């Protein structure tokens, strides 16, 4: 009898339960009327009188232990809601919020991918620039309004140092250290001293492109831009080039795409013109090639530049530019699917 009690004591020490049903089964096995302990109690009267005291004490110990063990297992269940008797210490205290890629990054990456497939490589340059790379090497006349304090953030006490107003400065940096063929895109942040509103911000993002080689023509430019527009906005997209002016290109143009909301019919979004403007472009002015050490009698080139915010607005119909820099997660989460 004592040996049987010892064996049960050991068994009870090692008891575990993984569900309420398992626990109930254990209770029935040990503590119910027909359970192992009651069986022993029933046998107790057969124990010789001289052993009754020792066996009785052991039997009580067994009963208490079994009750305690089952109560402990039950408590563990009640403190947990996942039905396991063991605590999972690796569980986090609160749900982790997963971030999403910023819409401007999504669109910038898409622009980069399209031009990469067309053979362009990525070039990078500093956001704090000197006057030469932003303006002088780009053929800006001394009195050009873009140099004016109204548009440009200059570094106080260093009038020659400024925050770049366009990524054309990177084109200049590429040309001064390399010879054609050059085929690069320059994605980056630019700064302009503008009052912040739904349609303007003091910083935004551009992707500019530059291709310089022998016999580069306006036709090449147009073809690459058509390809870009159709990959970005769909194969039905049409483009139109309007004459324009930039100091660094001649001839210059602005490119519109057919409005993808009304399909060119005319709607409030395109101000009933059927077209929306997306970028500036042109043939690199020979003066720019020369200023950057490239022989303009041998080489020609084209350049284009677009605002990433503008493309994102058109693609995702974001009406207020400020949304891009407010970090409102409700807005950012809307782009989860485009990640």
305 binds ligand PHE (CB under 6 A): yes
Among 137, 168, 300, 313, indicate the residue that binds ligand PHE (CB under 6 A).
Answer: 168
Closest CA to 321 of 230, 191, 232, 196: 196
- Output the smallest distance, CB 236 to ligand PHE, in A: 26
- The stretch among 10-18, 104-112, 261-269, 303-311 that binds ligand PHE (CB under 6 A) is 303-311
303 binds ligand PHE (CB under 6 A): yes
- The stretch among 61-69, 107-115, 235-243, 302-310 that binds ligand PHE (CB under 6 A) is 302-310
Cα separation, 64 vs 282, whole angstroms: 92
Q: If binding means CB under 6 A, how many residues of this protein chain bind ligand PHE?
A: 11
309 binds ligand PHE (CB under 6 A): no
Among 166, 173, 183, 205, indicate the residue that binds ligand PHE (CB under 6 A).
Answer: 166
Residue-wise over 96-120: b if at least 16 C-beta within 10 A, else e?
eeeebebbbebbbebbbebbeeeeb
174 binds ligand PHE (CB under 6 A): no
292 binds ligand PHE (CB under 6 A): no
257 contacts 278 by C-beta, under 8 angstroms: yes
192 binds ligand PHE (CB under 6 A): no
Q: Is the peptide bond before 146 cis (omega within 30 degrees of 0)?
A: no
- The stretch among 46-54, 100-108, 297-305, 320-328 that binds ligand PHE (CB under 6 A) is 297-305
Cα separation, 170 vs 185, whole angstroms: 9
Strands 182-191 and 121-122: parallel
Of all residues in this chain, which one has the CB nearest to ligand PHE in the complex?
305
In terms of C-beta density within 10 A (0-12 exposed, 13-18 middle, 19 or more buried), how is residue 76 classed? middle
Cα separation, 39 vs 288, whole angstroms: 103
139 binds ligand PHE (CB under 6 A): no
27 forms bridges with which residues in the sheet? none
- Output the smallest distance, CB 171 to ligand PHE, in A: 8
280 binds ligand PHE (CB under 6 A): yes
Residues 234-273 as x/- pattern, contact with ligand PHE by CB under 6 A: ------------x--x------------------------
Among 133, 282, 318, 335, indicate the residue that binds ligand PHE (CB under 6 A).
Answer: 282
- Output the smallest distance, CB 175 to ligand PHE, in A: 13
Among 232, 257, 281, 314, indicate the residue that binds ligand PHE (CB under 6 A).
Answer: 281
Cα separation, 122 vs 207, whole angstroms: 10
Q: Which of residues 17-46 bind ligand PHE (CB under 6 A)?
A: none
Q: 63 or 222: whose CB is closer to ligand PHE?
A: 222
Q: How far is CA 144 from the centre of its chain?
A: 38
Q: In 10 A of CB 19, how many CB atoms?
A: 12
Residue-level length of the chain = 339
- The stretch among 6-14, 56-64, 211-219, 279-287 that binds ligand PHE (CB under 6 A) is 279-287
Q: 128 or 338: whose CB is closer to ligand PHE?
A: 128
Q: 137 or 168: whose CB is closer to ligand PHE?
A: 168
Cα separation, 206 vs 223, whole angstroms: 21
208 binds ligand PHE (CB under 6 A): yes
Q: 108 or 166: whose CB is closer to ligand PHE?
A: 166
Q: Which residues in this chain contact ligand PHE in the complex, by CB under 6 A?
A: 166, 168, 208, 246, 249, 280-282, 303-305
């Amino acid at each position: 009898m004592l040996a049987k009690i010892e064996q049960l004591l050991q068994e009870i020490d090692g008891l575990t339960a993984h569900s309420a049903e398992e626990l109930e089964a254990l209770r029935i096995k040990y503590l119910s009327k027909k359970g192992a302990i009651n069986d022993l109690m029933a046998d107790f009267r057969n124990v010789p009188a001289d052993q009754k005291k020792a066996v009785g004490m052991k039997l009580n110990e067994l009963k208490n232990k079994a009750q305690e063990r089952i109560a402990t297992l039950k408590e563990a269940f009640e403190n947990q809601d996942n039905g396991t008797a063991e605590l999972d210490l690796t569980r986090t205290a609160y749900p982790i919020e997963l971030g999403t890629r910023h819409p401007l990054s999504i669109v910038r990456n898409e622009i980069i991918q399209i031009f990469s497939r067309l053979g362009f490589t990525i070039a990078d340059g500093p956001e704090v620039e000197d006057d030469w790379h932003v303006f002088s090497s780009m053929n800006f006349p001394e009195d050009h309004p873009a140099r004016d304090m109204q548009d440009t953030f200059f570094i106080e006490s260093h009038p020659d140092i400024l925050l770049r107003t366009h990524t054309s400065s990177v084109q200049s940096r590429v040309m001064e250290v390399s010879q054609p063929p050059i085929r690069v895109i320059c994605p980056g942040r630019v700064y302009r001293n503008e009052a912040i509103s739904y349609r303007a911000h003091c910083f935004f993002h551009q992707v500019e492109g530059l291709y310089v080689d022998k016999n580069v023509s306006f036709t090449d430019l147009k073809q690459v831009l058509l390809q870009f527009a159709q990959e970005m906005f769909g194969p039905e997209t049409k483009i139109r080039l309007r004459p324009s002016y930039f100091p660094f290109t001649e001839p210059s143009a602005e490119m519109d795409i057919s409005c993808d909301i009304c399909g060119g019919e005319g709607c409030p979004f395109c101000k009933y013109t059927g077209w929306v403007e997306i970028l500036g472009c042109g043939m690199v002015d020979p003066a720019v090639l020369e200023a950057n050490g490239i022989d303009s009698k041998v080489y020609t080139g084209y350049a284009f530049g677009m605002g990433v915010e503008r493309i994102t607005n058109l693609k995702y119909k974001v009406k207020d530019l400020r949304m891009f820099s407010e970090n409102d997660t409700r807005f950012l989460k809307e782009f989860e699917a485009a990640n």
